[in-house]
Amino acid sequence: MSTDTHGRVTGRDPDDDPLLVVARFEGRNRLRMTAVLAVLFSLFGLLYVWVGPQMIDAGFSELLDAMPPVVTELFGFESLESIEGLLASEFYTLGWIVGLGGYLAYTAAGTVAGDLRDERMDTVLSGPVPRRSVLLGKFLAVLVPIAALNVVVPVVLYVASLTIGESLSVVDLAIVHAFSIPYLLFWSAGGILLGVVVRRGRAAGRVALGLLFFSWLFESVISTTEYDWLGALSPVRYFDPPGILVDGTYDIAGAGLLLAGAVVALGLGQYWFRRRDL
């Protein structure tokens, strides 16, 4: 409860809102792993920045010409003639699309399904906590690693590029990370939906991780065939780091579709969660 300047009770303290309580609790639980991920992804990116000039000078473009088209599509090898192309093809494909997206999908699914499996969810809901607040709070907690990594990593990459005389574009870096947010939110919401549906702890996380990995493989393989249009079914198609960093093209509609997909997935998760017995 909160009081006014005369000591009168005015209602419940906003800090006691169940949604915020769950979000803060889950967010704090993610702080340590977020710090670890920030260090790991920063070191991973630094590796590419530091070895980038040597790889470019070594003439890897000729090697790309000899690669099968599916390999080029799989790893986004559109260009290795610049530090931007190298980061887009290697770091953001493996790091952001597969690595970070997979981590968020896996942990989002696991945190819901694990609570259901171990009956911790019963304990949480035994208090005055609406089911709606539990899932939304867990989803909001995912913003902790998403926000932290999308701030720390581009700063590290930019500063590192200055030290080797290969200044990256601040604008392009900011845009590629901004466009990664809808993609990461989509897989986070999808993970929460799978956690509600599968309800088997790590199994839910594995399903979420498997779906992301399949989506990545499917879009890469199908885009080299006459059925390229089927790649539109894959969320991976709508986040294109090489397009942003190398070509300067921005898929605003794709980002909108990913955000809409995140809303739909979270809404379905809420619907299923409210109507299923725990």
Which is nearest to 93 in space by CA: 236, 262, 258?
236
pTM: 0.86
Question: What pLDDT, on the 0 to 100 scale, is given for residue 39?
Answer: 96
Question: Quick one: average pLDDT of 251-265?
Answer: 95
- Residue pLDDT, tens place only, 84-127: 878 887 889 889 999 999 999 999 998 887 766 655 665 556 55
Question: What pLDDT, on the 0 to 100 scale, is given for residue 15?
Answer: 53
Domain boundaries, the chain: 17-275
What angle separates helix 131-141 from helix 143-163, to the nearest 10 degrees?
10
Structure tokens at 167: 């200044």
Query: Which residues does residue 11 pair with via DSSP β-bridges, in sequence order?
Result: 2
- Residue pLDDT, tens place only, 218-243: 888 887 778 888 888 999 999 999 88
- Residue pLDDT, tens place only, 8-67: 334 445 456 777 888 888 899 999 999 999 999 999 999 888 877 776 665 555 556 555
